[in-house]
Chains A and B, each alone.
Chain A
Amino acid sequence: MTSNQAAWLLFVFLTSSSIINIPAPLISYAGNIAWLSLPIAATFGLALLLLLLKLARQYAGKNLIEYSQATIGFTATMVLGLAFLYYQVHMASTIVLDVAMFMRSSMMRNTPSYWFIFLLLTVAAITVRAGIDKFAGMFPVIMVSVVGFTSLIVLMSINNYDVGNLLPLMPDGVKPLLHGVYFTMGVPYIELTLFGMLLPFIGNPDGKLGRKMTLSLICNMLVLMLVTIVSLLVFGPIAGDRKYSMFEVARTVEVADVFQRIEALMGYAVIAAAFMKTTIVLFSAHQTLIHLLVRKEDKMLIYPLAALMAIVSYSSLRDGEAHWIQLITSVHPLWGLTSAAAPLLLVGLIAWLRGKKKPPSADQQGG
């Protein structure tokens, strides 16, 4: 894929399902200052992205597992790689479950959740088998429609905005803001570590790759800030109690008795966004697995991985929705921090120490 496609893919990955799922929980934790959590968490995401890009330059053509083997050794890579894979299976399961929960609670109440889970993962698995060059070209087109419909809803609900809903900013001190930062670090900024498995697929990275990917991350942050602020403008602090606040915003749209009940657009956005993100996660998980097995290319493990994700997703609500939400809000960020971000930071630190010892040319060859 090209540098432009990689930058788009990063935007798709970070923005797709977050645009729907982030605002409500974020507002419930951080209140009216929720929007400020995003730039703080995005700064951490930017640091991870720059580290990934630096490692990709240092170990050209290799992915996170391969340069982990070159820096911390095979055994440590196997342990950290399995933890990374465990996290990715959880991520994909969560994304499809979000769709199932959304559809069951809003648009298709009588349809059992397994239909959404199995069908979404089937399509994602078929797409992954088609190859990254195919979906890297296709996803920007779908993402334009998702962002377009969301923007349309943002514009059409202008009549419902109340700027007074944004105040007071921090009535309970700084802790809610920090809670918002903890949550948004987990979704979506730590998750961008998965791009360590995708960067080697950029055939001929140009000198502006870093700038383009940074721009993608900044655009993502602005879009997420926009939907969070819009949710607050329409509903105020109770936006946090609305499970899918942008869907609820879409329901309030009523322009000249013609444009109303346009929440179906958000339904489309949820499904399309989840499909894209699931595909990227499944692709990354598959790459992780085959590189742990020291294979370059093998499509044989895609379907079993997708099937495992599907059954894990289906079984997630066994202990009830409240338990599940608690797991996502308190465990998911820590899980990502320890299974994805910490190994990347460790590999980056050791690569940096080795780079200091060796001359740069030897580094390139040794990588």
Chain B
Amino acid sequence: MPIAIAAVWLIVMIMLDLWDGLREGPRPTRVKAVYVILLTMILYQAVITFGRLHWPGFYELAYAIFGPIGGAIVRALGGKG
């Protein structure tokens, strides 16, 4: 079910944006490139969310960057870290 909802969302979203693009005129290449990058990130996150790949996701990166120091701060303040 979540895959179906996500798919419907993506199709509707792309159709609306295409419609806007036709109405308002062409966008610069960098905007189109970011649009494609965002779609790729959505698909990547979806693939790892539904267990097709075991690669690091959005929060694994954040945890790798901030986790050790954040945990150390909380432990220093008497929390469980």
CA distance A86 to B30 in the complex (A): 19
Residues in B with CB closer than 8 Å to A89 are 58
Asked whether, in the complex, the Cβ of A179 is within 8 Å of the Cβ of B31, the reply is no
Asked whether, in the complex, the Cβ of A311 is within 8 Å of the Cβ of B79, the reply is no
Residues in A with CB closer than 8 Å to B30 are 293
Q: How many Å from the CB of A186 to the closest CB on chain B?
A: 10
Partner of B38, one of A86, A90, A305: A305
Which chain B residues in 38-81 approach chain A with CB under 8 Å? 38-39, 41-42, 45-46, 48-49, 57-59, 62-63, 66-67, 69-71, 73-74, 77-79, 81
Q: Is A289 part of the binding interface, using a Cβ–Cβ cutoff of 8 Å?
A: yes
Dominant secondary structure at the A interface: helix
Known: A300-B20, A300-B35, A308-B38. A335 touches B62 (CB 8 A): yes
Closest to B77 in A: A179
Mask of A292-329 contacts with B, CB within 8 angstroms, 1/0: 01010011110111011011101110110000001101
Asked whether, in the complex, the Cβ of A334 is within 8 Å of the Cβ of B66, the reply is yes
Which chain A residues in 172-194 approach chain B with CB under 8 Å? 172, 175-176, 178-179, 182
CA distance A330 to B27 in the complex (A): 41
Asked whether, in the complex, the Cβ of B77 is within 8 Å of the Cβ of A327, the reply is no
Asked whether, in the complex, the Cβ of B79 is within 8 Å of the Cβ of A118, the reply is no
Known: A112-B2, A118-B9, A179-B74. A315 touches B35 (CB 8 A): no
Asked whether, in the complex, the Cβ of A182 is within 8 Å of the Cβ of B17, the reply is no
Asked whether, in the complex, the Cβ of A315 is within 8 Å of the Cβ of B78, the reply is no
A-B contact pairs, 6 of them (CB 8 A): A90-B59, A311-B42, A311-B49, A315-B58, A327-B59, A327-B62
B contact set with A: CB distance below 8 Å: 1-2, 5-6, 9-10, 13, 16-17, 20-21, 27-28, 30-31, 34-35, 38-39, 41-42, 45-46, 48-49, 57-59, 62-63, 66-67, 69-71, 73-74, 77-79, 81
